[in-house]
Amino acid sequence: MRTALAAPLAAALVAALLGATPGALAQPGPLVSADGVLGAGWREAGLPQQRPPMTRFIAGTVDGRAAVRVQAEASYGHLVFDLPGQRAAPRLRWGWRLEHANGAVDLASKAGDDAAAKVCLAFDLPLARVPFIERQLLRLARSKTGENLPAATLCWVWGHAEPRDALIANPYSRRVRVIVLRNRDDALDRWWDEERDIAADWRRAFGDESADVPPLLAVLVGADADNTGGRSVAHVAGLRFAP
């Protein structure tokens, strides 16, 4: 999970100019449509000039739930739903299950910076709020990639040895921060349902930069195994914002 987490988000700015309502309450479309395919509005996104293969996303049904199979094999990738300029609802809910864990994951190191499953929100944090050195690095990255890379991305991840509820800054960029919800102690092949207080998690992760939750750029679902060269399989279902 690198600096280019939400890499083609320049499209989000275009969408904003074409009619997104600033300040509107966000709600992504369903991950899986009624006819069992990837939901409308979701798109695959990787790194600029990506070399690893893309993580595979396959719509289907698992244990009666419409879900996306997220399969990483030395790969990188996300499903992205653009929500430029919209406000996050108070809570984010989803269910996920892990079928095959990647035992080499170590979220605090570059060599182990992969995740078997992650749900992320990319925020349009004003650049002036970003610490000076990180602001210059972000400007450089935006210039180099030609992408409007998010100034702040918060992810909830299925880690490995990290303790639950650990807050970890991404080793490639502090512009990405993760909260570990599940780890190797959580049973495989069963659903775990999550509900997160977005404002509380935002303030915990980025409250030193802004007490207020900024507008969204996008919501992301993904997994990666490009740093470890490993493999993982997970399923994600029912992703939605809630009051």
- Summarize the confidence of residues 163-170 as an average pLDDT: 98
- Summarize the confidence of residues 70-79 as an average pLDDT: 98
- Summarize the confidence of residues 157-178 as an average pLDDT: 97
- Summarize the confidence of residues 94-106 as an average pLDDT: 98
pLDDT surpasses 80 at 158 = yes
Domains of the chain (ranges, CATH numbers): 10-242 (2.60.120.430)
pLDDT surpasses 60 at 92 = yes
146 within 8 A of 238, measured Cβ to Cβ:
no
Of the pLDDT bands very low, low, confident and very high (cuts 50, 70, 90), residue 26 is confident
pLDDT surpasses 80 at 137 = yes
Output the pLDDT for position 34: 87
Question: In the numeric block, which tokens belong to residue 210?
Answer: 């802004």
| Rounded CA separation 34/59 (Å) | 11
DSSP result, 80-125: EEE-TTPBPPSEEEEEEEEEE--TT--TTSSTT--EEEEEEEEE--
Distance of CA 140 to the CA centre of its chain: 22
Nearest in space to 128 (alpha carbons), one of 209, 30, 241: 209
142 within 8 A of 119, measured Cβ to Cβ:
no
172 within 8 A of 2, measured Cβ to Cβ:
yes
In 3-state terms, what secondary structure has residue 199? helix
Output the pLDDT for position 1: 45
Of the pLDDT bands very low, low, confident and very high (cuts 50, 70, 90), residue 24 is low
pLDDT surpasses 60 at 217 = yes
In 3-state terms, what secondary structure has residue 158? strand
Backbone angles phi, psi at 182, to 5 degrees: -130, 155
Output the pLDDT for position 5: 43
DSSP result, 24-74: PBP-PPPSB-TTSSBPTTEEEE--TT--SPBPEEEEEEETTEEEEEEEEES
Of the pLDDT bands very low, low, confident and very high (cuts 50, 70, 90), residue 2 is low
| Rounded CA separation 98/35 (Å) | 24
Put simply, whether the predicted model's pTM sits higher than 0.85 gets the answer yes
- Summarize the confidence of residues 5-25 as an average pLDDT: 42
Please tell me which residue, 183 or 11, carries the higher pLDDT value: 183
Output the pLDDT for position 91: 97
- Summarize the confidence of residues 100-113 as an average pLDDT: 98
- Which region among 23-37, 104-118, 201-215, 224-238 has the lowest average model confidence (pLDDT)? 23-37
Nearest in space to 239 (alpha carbons), one of 61, 56, 83, 91: 91
- Which region among 41-55, 137-151, 173-187, 193-207 has the lowest average model confidence (pLDDT)? 137-151
Of the pLDDT bands very low, low, confident and very high (cuts 50, 70, 90), residue 23 is low
Beta bridge partners of 135: none
